[in-house]
Amino acid sequence: MHDLTKEVWVNYTYEDWLAHFKENDKARLKLDFASEPELSEEQRKLIFKSIKAFQMGEHSDGIYLAELAEKFGKEYKEPDYPATMNLFIKEENFHSAYLAWYLDHHKEPKAKKNKLDKIFRDLRHDGKLITEIMVLVTAETIALSYYSALGNVADKIGSKDLRAICNQMLHDELPHIVFQTYTLSHFGDKRSIRSKRRFIMGCTTLAVYLMYGKLLRAGGYNYRKFRGDNFAYLNQSILMAAKMSQG
């Protein structure tokens, strides 16, 4: 687990975030699969179900989010937010692409629809940026645990490329949590926001564990650890949001 409250990102403005995403955009992960092993049937069964779900979840056309970001930028006098959001969406689409390359290499078809993706998208789309960001940051927190577990499984099956993908995801997602937290801090430190965030985290943690528990357990995450880590990150985010909203 990382202590996000100690990172420099906690002091970032949207101008800094814009620079951060521009810098990330200069060097994206490259994969050649030169040493990628053949996977056994058992290994395929273990990893592909969840990889397909996350490949879909990481992808977004971003139109809806971009519209809300425009509105927020005007309302809160944050002119850099829309451009930052666009680069953030671009980064998420790279995440989806990395997983898609991995699936393609193993000639595994991509998912066309997925229950988890539908849950997250339904929860998000109520026309408010705050809801969108609350759900997004929950998914990203869960992703931290998931990619940690998947990275451990990648080591076990000897896939350097899958390990590299997981490392890249963790590298990118950790600051994302702080970025979304900064946006949430604009809405104030309210009890209603905190309890809604805890409720969404509780439900989605359980749903993800029920669907992908096999992979999580293989990567060292039983339910106790999975839930514990997710809520520990949520508590860090709540703490950061409170501090940020004070100024």
Contact residues for Fe ion, defined by CB under 5 A: 58, 92, 95, 140, 173, 176
Min CB(57)–Fe ion separation in Å? 8
Closer Cβ to Fe ion, 90 or 196, answer by number: 90
Contact in structure between 240 and 4 (CB atoms under 8 Å): yes
Spatial distance between the Cα atoms of 237 and 137, rounded to a whole number of angstroms: 9
Match 């995450």 to its residue by tokens. 221
Assign 3-class secondary structure to the chain.
CCCHHHCHHHHCCHHHHHHHHHHHHHCCCCCCCCCCCCCCHHHHHHHHHHHHHHHHHHCCCCHHHHHHHHHHHHHCCCCCHHHHHHHHHHHHHHHHHHHHHHHHHCCCCCCCCCHHHHHHHHHHCCCCHHHHHHHHHHHHHHHHHHHHHHHHHHHHHCCHHHHHHHHHHHHHHHHHHHHHHHHHHCCCCCHHHHHHHHHHHHHHHHHHHHHHHHHHHHCCCCHHHHHHHHHHHHHHHHHHHHHHHCC
Min CB(59)–Fe ion separation in Å? 9
Closer Cβ to Fe ion, 95 or 197, answer by number: 95
Min CB(16)–Fe ion separation in Å? 17
**What are the tokens at 105?**
């290499």
Closest CA to 180 of 157, 166, 200: 200
Closer Cβ to Fe ion, 176 or 197, answer by number: 176
Closer Cβ to Fe ion, 118 or 171, answer by number: 171
Min CB(165)–Fe ion separation in Å? 11
Min CB(20)–Fe ion separation in Å? 13
Spatial distance between the Cα atoms of 179 and 203, rounded to a whole number of angstroms: 23
Min CB(52)–Fe ion separation in Å? 15
Min CB(53)–Fe ion separation in Å? 13
Closer Cβ to Fe ion, 39 or 165, answer by number: 165
Closer Cβ to Fe ion, 43 or 185, answer by number: 185
